Amino acid sequence: MKKNISINLQGMIFHIEEDGYEVLRTYLDSIKIYFSGYAGHQEIIADIESRMAEIFYANLTPTKQVITLEDVQALIKKMGSVNDFAQHDKDEDEVEVEAPKMIGSTTSGSYSSGSGSAATGSAAYTGTKRLYRDGNRKVISGVAAGIAAYLNTEPLWVRLTLLFLVIVIAPITAGLSAGFIILLYILCWIALPINYDTPVGNHAYSATETTSRKLFRNPDDKKLGGVCSGLALYLGIDPAMMRLIFLIGLFAGGASLLIYVLLWIVLPEAKTITEKAQMQGKPLTLSGIENSLKNSLQPDGANQEESPLVRLMLLPVRLLSQILVVLSRILGPVINALLVVVRIFAGVMLIIMGISGIIALVSLLLVSTGVIQDASFIELNNVPNNFFFTDFPLFGKIAGFLAGLIPALFLIILGLGLLTKRFYMRATVGWTMFAVMLISGFIFLASIISYSKNFEENGTYVTEKTFPAANYQTISLDANKIERVFDDYIDVTVESYAGNDIRLIQQFSAEGRTEEDAIKNAQMMNYRAVLKDSMLVLDNGFTFKQNAIFREQELALKLRLPEGKTYRISYDMARLLPESNFDLNYSNEQISKHGWKIKNNVFTCVTCTAADSAEVTDRTDAGFDPDFDNSGEKSFLKTADDFGPSVRQLDAANFKKISVVGPFYVKIIPGQAFNVKARGDADDLREMRFEVENGELSIFPRKSGFSLGRNNPDPIYITVQMPDLMELSLVGASTAEVVGFKQNKLKVNQTGATQAFIRTDVQTLEINLTGASEAVLEGTARDLEADVVGGCELNALKLIAENANLDVTGGSEAHVNVQRILRGDVTGGSELTYTGDPENIKVDEGGGSDVNRREI
């Protein structure tokens, strides 16, 4: 049994055996005596003790928590003793003569422990270099660190090279480089032995004795911040050359100044003897430290007096540096306090996001696997909770859960690290989690691809119901509100015919692996329609049979009504009927108050008064959107009364084009003369600017980043009267209403969440939508040319076009009414819906896009 003693080396507590403690104490005393003659010797001793603590810490394992005499002796061998290089100072010539003999006398491939090697703190290596995995500097397995040791460079460069080949070059080589590098890495992991004392070049080192340089700012040879001198030491070039490079960059465009300031902020200054030794690539041994003290890491000529030209060139930069130093001293505490607040806030938010993600993932997994049957917290209405997940592979559900769980856990760990300023994840654990996430992601993606084959074919199932109505002269139409999740998956059209009974044609459609499978899925839908006396009640949605699975089910209803009868339509039923079945743009409330007759598929009011017709006309002139829901929930059109009371007359004339930038609302109407007025709050009107140049009226804010209408998203209403409108451009959340133009050609460009309603009769209508813009078109056009890109929507069902040429991409939607020729490309998960009976159709679709014909 041995007695253990606790020691403190630079804040780290170690338990050391008594015999080892005596040797270590004697060793430290000799070091203190030797370096006591140097200025700042206390700092030197502190650096040496920190170095010892690193070596001792590397020797500890979960099963070995005590420093032994052998550990102390190994430390002295690595660090070197005072006697070794003290003798070297007394008899340098003798050492230079004996050292080659000593090396030459050793066996090839072995290490010499004579005085020559001790002076450097490492053994001399005379054999052939060998490739190992570096166990001390490893991140995953030590392969990259071992290659770096073999090439005598930093592991960082090897790792960046491997990542570059795997991530950047892989797309160019179709993944071959990534696969080759990963395979080669795995083979090296298997084949190469691990070594915790890997040789670098011709020197041996432990993980903390590398002779490769580290990048610091050099305080001993600095003109400003020591950046150029530190870079020069790291790259092994003359500091004057590095300074010249930065000066040339300064006069060539100024980018070097930004780089210099960033490096000044990012790079630490080499303050301690250890850092200064690492900066020049000196071994962290007593000999290396003494060399650093004697040489002061100063290059030849570093202390030479600067020439007047150099002083003059550096004067402005030095003045700027002094200003930065003063500002950093004044603003430093404030910035540090703000950084603490930001760090704590970011940490809390990351933890909340991670916990929320885990709760959502666990809930979704339990519901999808059927563990939780009653999941009222998930909004699925009357649809079974497992409806979407019944036949999705179980391993795919688990893989998706893991692929989402690991990032959520990482957010929590990162948040805790920000709060405590510590990172709680080891590199091996992190890389293992990353590998699991990648594998799970690939499995989940493969499951989705396999599952998507269930949606390859479309099938329809048609039934027809007949309701006897010969005995009723007045028939009520009502809708039964049921809880449903697919309220957008039902389509109702109305036809009139010369008969006595009501006929309801139901077309159920769904998707599947085959057409037969799709028809079976369509038959898993239920729909209810009941005639009670003279009242026909239709459900406003469909339901599913037991054990139904999600296959994009849709229902199209065609309601055939006898002509010559009077119909009473409830408010809920009016919401289901398309407005194209009414002769005027009646509101749902008006429809529910009056009686109607139908002929040629159009309802005509038989009890409306002149006041009712005037109200419809007022609504149309005010700009109610006929293609949106009459409740106004989705209508973007407004009237002048929605804006502020102030009016401003704009002196603008002689233009045929209009460009609007910013959140303005513009209504454009035809007229013989030019008349432009703006209405809104007085403050907002002062922020607006306009100009007429080259026949174009431009309306824009006073300056970029302005704040119009703090309480109104459309702060200014502009009415423009003009003879001809050739082109309209909308940018940045602007809205336009164009009504009444009849001409040869009109071009409309919309970019950045803009909205437009256009009712016109033209020969050629060209419209370009990008960036989540929206357009509603009415009237007639011989040719419709449309580019709908990036989440945009084009609704042209009420624009009767002879020919249409469409390009719909990026998750966009286009709905058109074409009579003769339909051409186009539909890609990127987009949707094209067309009505009419075009004689010639040629539409290319791809990338998960849909092209459908809609019956009217």
CA angle 562, 564, 565 (to 5 degrees): 75
User: In the chain, what are the domain boundaries?
Assistant: 4-79, 342-454, 457-621, 640-853
Q: Is 410 left (phi over 0), alpha (psi -120 to 50) or beta?
A: alpha
Indicate the range of 390-399, 630-639, 811-820 predicted with least confidence: 630-639
| Confidence at 189, pLDDT banded by 50, 70, 90 | confident
Q: What is the mean pLDDT of residues 471-499?
A: 75
d(CA 4, CA 201) in angstroms, rounded, equals 39
The confidence band for 806, taking pLDDT boundaries of 50, 70 and 90, is: very high
List phi, psi (to 5°) of 416.
Answer: -65, -40
Nearest residue to 143 (alpha-carbon basis) of 203, 199, 197, 184? 184
Residue holding tokens 């061998």?
77
Q: Which residues contact 447 (CB under 8 A, 6 or more apart)?
A: 392, 393, 395, 396, 399, 400
Q: Which amino acid is located at 254 in the chain?
A: G
Note the pTM of the prediction, 2 decimals.
Answer: 0.40
Nearest-5° Cα angle at 600, 594 to 603? 10
In 786-854, alpha helices (H): none
Q: What is the DSSP letter of 732?
A: S
Listed in order, strand segments (DSSP E) in 644-715 are 646-650, 657-661, 664-670, 675-680, 688-693, 696-701
Residues 711, 722: Cα–Cα separation, whole Å? 31
To the nearest whole percent, how much of the chain has pLDDT over 70? 74
Q: How many CB atoms lie within 10 A of CB 429?
A: 11
Considering only residues 423 and 570, tell me which one the structure prediction assigns the higher pLDDT.
570
What are the tens digits of pLDDT across the range 65-94? 888 888 888 888 877 776 665 555 554 444
Quickly count: other Cβ atoms within 10 Å of residue 304's Cβ: 7
Report the alpha-carbon distance of residue 587 to residue 579 in Å, rounded. 9
Place of tokens 């419209």: 767
Average pLDDT of span 255-259: 75
Question: In sequence order, what are the beta bridge partners of 597?
Answer: 604
| pLDDT above 90: residue 302 | no
* Domain 640-853 in this protein, CATH class: mainly beta
Least confident of 298-307, 543-552, 603-612, 644-653: 298-307
Q: Tens digits of per-residue pLDDT, 827-853?
A: 888 899 999 888 888 998 887 788 888
The CB density around residue 178, as the number of other CB atoms within 10 Å, is 17
Higher pLDDT, 459 or 804: 804
Q: Which of 116-125, 154-163, 182-191 has the lowest mean pLDDT?
A: 116-125
758 has pLDDT over 60: yes
What's the average model confidence in pLDDT over 571-582? 79
Give the pLDDT mean for 120-143: 60
Band (119; pLDDT cuts 50, 70, 90): very low
Would you call 84 exposed, middle or buried from its count of C-beta atoms within 10 A (0-12, 13-18, 19+)? Answer: buried
For 600, phi then psi, to 5°, come to 55, 40
Query: CB–CB of 677/670 below 8 Å?
Result: no
Residue range 388-415: average pLDDT?
83
Give dist(CA 67, CA 55) in Å, integer: 11
Share of the chain above pLDDT 90, in %: 12
pLDDT mean over 645-665: 89
**Helix locations, 36-165, DSSP H:** 41-59, 69-79, 82-90, 92-105, 115-118, 143-151, 155-163
Compute the average pLDDT of residues 605-624: 59
How deeply is 282 buried, as exposed, middle or buried, from its count of CB atoms within 10 A (0-12, 13-18, 19+)? buried
Token pair recorded at residue 453: 């084959």
Q: What is the mean pLDDT of the chain?
A: 76
Q: Are strands 554-562 and 735-751 parallel, antiparallel or unpaired?
A: unpaired
pLDDT given for residue 655 in this prediction: 94
How confident is residue 295, by pLDDT bands cut at 50, 70 and 90? low
Q: Return the pLDDT at 289.
A: 65
Calculate mean pLDDT across residues 675-680.
90
For 16-26, the pLDDT digits (tens) are 888 888 888 88
Give the residue-averaged pLDDT of 776-797.
92
Rounded to a whole number, what is the distance in angstroms from the first to the last CA of the chain?
Answer: 97
User: Could you tell me whether strands 675-680 and 716-722 are parallel, antiparallel, or unpaired per DSSP bridges?
Assistant: antiparallel
pLDDT, one tens digit per residue, over 338-374 is: 778 888 888 888 889 889 889 888 888 887 776 765 5
